[in-house]
Structure 1
Amino acid sequence: MSFEEKRAWIYALVAAGVPLVYFATVLGQAQAVGVAEVAYVRPMLTAIGVAVAVNVVAHIVAGIVSPGEADRKDERDADIHRYGQRAGYYVLAAGAVVALGLTLADYENFWIANALYLAFVLDALTSSVTKIVAYRRGL
């Protein structure tokens, strides 16, 4: 497994795990009180910060464990990276359109912010899974 594939796996696992905790916490609150009263801002910012920090630390650890591979990147890695990012951008754009629709329909900020967060999460998952599949099956 190349180092870039390891990075895609790390990104996918963090992009799946952290939002699961966030959505479980926030949607649990939403069932107890109305969405207008849910304190989602601090948990969302915390989830974003934790995801960034865990990704950075995990990539550093992966680089320490495999120091010879960390600097190796070839043309195939670059092509797969572009391919995965492109797939993720389509998902992100669709999510932004949904968030815009929610805004135009005058939905609560809770739904708009969470739609945008979900769009970024799905973008990360889509790009990572696309890269992993491309590494396993080829472009």
Structure 2
Amino acid sequence: MSYEEKGTWLYLVIAIAGVTVYSAFVFPAVAGGTPVDDIDYVPIMLWTIGGAIVASIVARILIEIVFPSESTKGDVRDREIDRLGERVGGSFVVIGALAALVLAMLEMHWFWIANAVYLCFVLSAVLSSITKLVAYRKGVPTW
């Protein structure tokens, strides 16, 4: 498995773990009927995002210690796969920005705006990673 593919797997797992941890803390309150004004989601979101960044760095180092890659330089195929995955992921960043814009125009509570943006960031990471992993297995499509 290439250096880039290992990183993609880590990115996928950590993105899913991060949103799972965040959801476990925040959404029981929402489901329980707590008003969104009373939900202290900001520290949880910031800790989750920061934790994901630290976990990515530490996990990448540990993976390379335990399962060293022959090279950390990507080749042409890695760059094409990365470009394809980032195009797919980038579309969800745009969707998140549009969702935030619409929610702000509707004067929704900032809880919903922040969570819509966060959800789209996570969807971007997950779908970008899945696209890259499929491309590593099946090849880059020639459209």
TM-score by length of structure 2 reads: 0.92
How many Å separate the matches in 2 of 1:99 and 1:84? Answer: 23
How far has the Cα of 1:69 moved from its partner?
2.7
Q: Secondary structure at the match of 1:17?
A: helix
* Residues 138 and 48 (structure 1), Cα distance of their counterparts in 2 relative to 1, 3 Å cut: same
How far has the Cα of 1:32 moved from its partner?
4.3
How many Å separate the matches in 1 of 2:51 and 2:70? Answer: 26
* Amino acid paired to 1:39: D
How far has the Cα of 1:72 moved from its partner?
3.3
How many Å separate the matches in 1 of 2:13 and 2:68? Answer: 22
Is residue 65 of structure 2 the alignment partner of residue 64 of structure 1?
Answer: yes
Unpaired segments ≥5 residues, structure 1: none
Aligned to 1:136: 137
Aligned to 2:12: 12
Alignment of 1:5-84 (within 5 A): 5-30=5-30, 31-84=32-85
How far has the Cα of 1:66 moved from its partner?
3.4
Deviations 1:71-121 (A, max 9, x none): 232110111111101110011111211111001100001000111111111
How far has the Cα of 1:23 moved from its partner?
1.3
* Amino acid paired to 1:61: L
Contact 1:63 1:69 in 2 (8 A): no
Aligned to 1:2: 2
Q: Once superposed, what is the RMSD of the aligned Cα atoms?
A: 1.2
Contact 1:80 1:131 in 2 (8 A): yes
How many Å separate the matches in 1 of 2:138 and 2:117? Answer: 31
* Amino acid paired to 2:15: A
How far has the Cα of 1:67 moved from its partner?
3.3
Runs of 4+ in 1 over 3 A off after TM superposition: none
How many Å separate the matches in 2 of 1:107 and 1:32? Answer: 17
Identity %: 44
* Amino acid paired to 1:119: C
How far has the Cα of 1:122 moved from its partner?
0.6
How many Å separate the matches in 1 of 2:89 and 2:119? Answer: 12
